[in-house]
Amino acid sequence: MWRNLAYGSQQAAEAAPAVVPIKSVKETVVSQVDASSVPKNDGAKVYKILEFLRKVPMHMPVSVTDIFKHTGVDLTMDDQVEQRLKNNPKVRLKGDQYAYQAKYDIKNRMQLLKILDRIPEGMPIEDLIDCYVNVEDDLKELTRTGEIICLKNADKGAEVYYSRVVPFLVDLSGVATVEAGSYLAHSSQDLTGEVRRGDAFRIGDNWFRVSAAVKVRVIIHVLVLNNIQLKCTVVYMFKFDKDHLPLDVPFPDAKRRNVASSDRWDLLPKRGPKFQMVKHGCTNDIRQLWRDTLRTWPSDRAEFEKKLVQAGLTTQAKVDASRRQMKRRLKEDKKKNRPRKQRDIKITNHHLIGTKLGEILAKGSQEQFTLGAVKFEKK
């Protein structure tokens, strides 16, 4: 057959299969966003794309098609937005795909706890808010259970998160009787002196806060010396006394679901499993005892060390050794004033001797000026 094809046989040519060109069909991509909600400004378009990239699970890279589907911004038709997106420090390019670049590469709760352990000075909320999708929920839950500490910045009011490092847990008195779906636990002993509303404590394996949910705020008009004053009284939703220990969330069931019971959510459990309780740090009665004794502590360090020796908490030899070490450290840190030596500069411009310029230079010195071998005294 190849000979017939080579020599132009018409019969063989007709028998040869015809090659039909296939037209490339371009897939039509439809945006899932209403055209009216797509911003017109380039900066707003970039912000919309950044918000989409931030919510992508694990900050995985996405294509231009995915960006168009979820934001309505077509980067293939808008070169300026594409260029601004590529130059944005919060965007990471991987080939022709785009991914969100957070300040810290944190993907889950365990990595969040590890990086907080490595940064003892704390991390502000703005450095963590864009790490992964549910980071806000994890921060709230970890703060609620006391695994991390959240403080508000005094100047800006922003939340700063700290690691608790090594937890210090203290047993609470008595045992708690609990029931799944209830906001109340029954304590066998009075805990009002050991914990307060808002404190974190653990019943068994579950962490709670002493409920501070407010039912109503009552404003009372008080008449004092013919002046009407407003006094606000807070009425809490749950009791907190020697028997009632209110919880911020319902006690979980066997499937660890914090779902409130429809009929027993506000009833004090009389029967049920009993658990030991612990809390972070010292109990409030011990803390108050420390505050009371703090007032009697001597402010003078020498007097304080004397009290420690009298109480048998240290020895005089250790106090003397500590003082010698402190003096040695202060002596090493003290800056030594070294005299600065002034170098003698020999001037070789002997032709200035006896001239007006030489006299002008001599007057610029405090006492005298040496020009070569001649000394000019200041008049």
Asked if residue 206 and residue 252 are part of one domain, the reply reads yes
Q: How far is CA 21 from the centre of its chain?
A: 60
Per-residue pLDDT of the chain (379 residues; tens, 9 = 90+): 444 444 444 554 454 444 444 443 445 666 667 777 788 888 888 888 888 888 888 788 889 888 888 888 888 888 888 888 888 888 888 888 998 888 888 889 999 999 999 998 899 888 888 888 889 999 999 999 889 999 987 777 788 999 988 888 999 999 999 988 889 999 999 999 999 999 999 998 899 999 988 876 655 555 555 555 556 677 888 889 998 999 998 988 767 777 777 677 778 887 788 999 999 888 888 888 888 888 778 888 888 888 889 888 889 999 899 888 888 877 776 666 666 665 555 555 667 777 777 676 666 555 555 555 556 565 5
Helix axes 109-118, 135-144, angle to 10 degrees: 70
Whether the CB-CB separation of 234 and 212 falls below 8 Å is answered with no
- Helix ranges (DSSP H) in 26-146: 42-54, 64-71, 79-87, 109-118, 125-128, 135-144
Which of 100, 120, 154 terminates a domain? The answer is 100
Asked if residue 181 and residue 154 are part of one domain, the reply reads no
Asked if residue 188 and residue 267 are part of one domain, the reply reads yes
User: What Cα–Cα distance (Å) separates residue 231 from each residue in 212, 220, 225?
Assistant: 19, 5, 15
Whichever domain contains 72, its CATH number is 1.10.10
Provide the residue range defining the domain that includes 143: 109-163
Asked if residue 259 and residue 212 are part of one domain, the reply reads yes
Which of 68, 100, 132 terminates a domain? The answer is 100
Whether the CB-CB separation of 240 and 192 falls below 8 Å is answered with yes
Whether 93 maps to a domain, the answer reads yes
Q: Read off the pTM.
A: 0.57
Q: What is the C-alpha to C-alpha distance for residues 363 and 377, in angstroms, rounded to an integer? A: 8
Number of domains in the chain: 4
Asked if residue 268 and residue 193 are part of one domain, the reply reads yes
